[in-house]
Structures are given as structure tokens and as C-alpha cells.
Amino acid sequence: MMPQAHDAPHDLRRALGFGRRIGSHGARWLFVSFCREVSRFPGPLRLEVTPFEVRFSDSQGFLVVLSPLCELFLVSIGPTRSFDVRVSSLESFCTALDAALRHFLEVQGRPPIVSRQPD
């Protein structure tokens, strides 16, 4: 089966359907939320749905791969996929989304987001 390119909301719905593979209702909701958030990143993003994963990418080197598992999903970031986050809670969701956004900004050549810690 060839990957499908994202050109319409139908393709996003197909990607969101992968969430059904996740047994945990909470992790499934986080998967759907993560897909929706990444699909809102500015610029033309390509969405590929394969039998085992969902890929968000662009022509400049941005790549985020989501792999749904039994009770969680794995987020791999970057072309080397050297950074993975196992998402099963709101905390790990935020970590993965923050990493995806930082990667997106880095690839776009935009200044990094500086996290401010409470005093």
C-alpha cells in the first residue's frame, strides 16, 4: 500500500482513525489531539498514512512520525528519528508536542522558543 499525501480533511480523518488501534481511551484522545495540533502548524505539510504509522513532513526537512501501540503511541521526531517520546499521559503529550514544535521552528529557521521557568 502506497502512502497517501495529505490534500484534504478526509486524509486527516484517516490519520485520526489510527487512534482506534490504541486501547486506552485517554491515550487515544491524546493521539487525536496530537494529530490535530500538528496539522495546524503553518505552511504546507504533507500527511502520509501507512499501514503502521502516520507521518507529518514538509519539503524543508520537518518530520514527525506517530506509531499507535496498544496503550500509548510513539512520537518520533526528525529525519533520523533519534528522538522518541512514548505518549500515554498529558505530561508526555506536552513533551512530544513541544519537541515537534521546536523541530518545526528549527527547520523553518525561526528562533527557538525559550521556556521560562517560574521564579
Rounded distance, CA 119 to CA 113, Å? Answer: 18
pTM given for the model: 0.81
- Gap between the Cα atoms of 97 and 34, Å rounded: 7
Using one digit for the tens of pLDDT, what is the confidence trace for 41-95? 998 899 998 888 999 999 999 999 999 999 999 999 998 877 899 999 999 999 9
Work out the number of other CB atoms within 10 angstroms of the CB of residue 91.
9
Look over the chain and give the mean of its residue pLDDT values, rounded to a whole number.
85
Domain extents for the chain? 9-106
